């Protein structure tokens, strides 16, 4: 299962060296007309707006910023040493991740992902392709979490079989089974993307009953 805190960086994506991070040109205009830096809340608002407009579902915004009660990054906290962000979501039936750590603040990296999505949405407006076509060029990455072996998972068609629980298992038991398998098959310990996808899908189905 993808953690919103701390940052869960997707396997296979290169990190930006701290010495190469820069101040982003985004910002906002203050009440007196001066340009101000974005707050985490500002970046978050821009990102969520674009995710909603795009039609993304089940999104998780993963950062090193402590969470609010609603599970989103809290504004007004000390800037973390690692400002990277990773946005996990589902679109057109596939799991994707858009990570960004090019800029030196969480707020600006959130805003950068928002800008990226806005640019992709332009394909719909301009009539040259569409969003589904745009994301076809991205590597489909299910959220980090783990899973069962592919050959074993292929034998199962039900989420409870994949997780090894009863069909009427409580949410707590579903969550415990998922975490147990995630620990065993986490990508950081050599897990496979197909395995992650199988287990993540089973977990989502089990939790939304």
Q: Tell me, what's the pLDDT at 187?
A: 63
The pair of structure tokens assigned to 61 is 């915004």
- Could you tell me the CA-to-CA distances from 154 to 31, 33, 35, 113 in Å, in that order? 58, 59, 55, 35
Query: What are the E-state strand segments in the chain?
Result: 28-29, 35-36, 57-62, 85-91, 94-100
pLDDT 10s digit of each residue in the chain, 209 long? 578 999 999 887 889 999 999 999 988 887 777 789 999 999 999 999 999 998 999 899 999 999 998 889 998 888 999 999 999 998 887 888 999 999 999 999 999 999 999 988 887 666 666 677 666 655 444 444 443 343 343 344 578 888 888 888 888 888 888 888 877 775 666 666 667 677 777 887 888 76
Could you give the count of Cα atoms lying within 13 Å of 106 in the half-sphere of its Cβ? Answer: 30
Query: Rounded to 10 degrees, what is the CA torsion of 103, 104, 105, 110?
Result: 10
Average pLDDT, the chain: 81
Domain ranges of the chain: 18-135, 150-207
Contact 202, 182 (CB under 8 A): no
CA separation for the pair 127, 22 (Å, rounded): 34
> What kind and span of H or E run contains 202?
helix 193-207
| DSSP for 10-46, written as a single string | PTTPPPPPGGG-B--S--EE-TTS-EEPPPHHHHHHH
CB atoms under 10 Å from CB of 160, counted, come to 18
Candidates 83, 72, 85; CA nearest to 13 is: 85
Q: Domain 150-207, what fold?
A: Helix Hairpins (1.10.287)
- Report the predicted TM-score, pTM, of the whole model to 2 decimal places: 0.65
Judged by DSSP in three states, 191 sits in coil
Could you give the count of Cα atoms lying within 13 Å of 179 in the half-sphere of its Cβ? Answer: 7
């Amino acid at each position: 299962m993808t953690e919103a805190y701390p940052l869960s960086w997707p396997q296979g994506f290169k990190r930006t060296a701290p010495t190469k991070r820069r101040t982003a040109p985004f910002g906002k205009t203050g009440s007196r007309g001066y340009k101000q830096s974005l707050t985490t809340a500002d970046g978050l608002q821009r990102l969520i707006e674009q995710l909603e407009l795009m039609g993304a579902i089940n999104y998780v915004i993963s950062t090193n910023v402590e969470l609010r009660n609603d599970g989103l990054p809290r504004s007004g906290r000390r800037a973390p040493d690692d400002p990277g962000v990773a946005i996990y979501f589902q679109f057109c039936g596939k799991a994707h991740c858009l990570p960004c750590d090019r800029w030196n603040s969480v707020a600006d990296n959130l805003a950068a992902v928002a800008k990226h999505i806005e640019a992709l949405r332009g394909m719909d407006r301009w009539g040259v392709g569409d969003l589904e076509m745009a994301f076809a060029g991205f590597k489909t990455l299910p959220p980090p979490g783990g899973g069962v072996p592919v050959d074993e998972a292929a034998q199962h068609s039900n989420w409870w079989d994949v997780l090894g629980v009863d069909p009427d298992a409580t949410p707590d038991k579903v969550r415990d089974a998922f975490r147990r398998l995630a620990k065993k098959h986490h990508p950081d310990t050599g897990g496979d993307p197909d395995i992650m996808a199988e287990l993540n899908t089973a977990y989502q189905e089990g939790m939304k009953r």
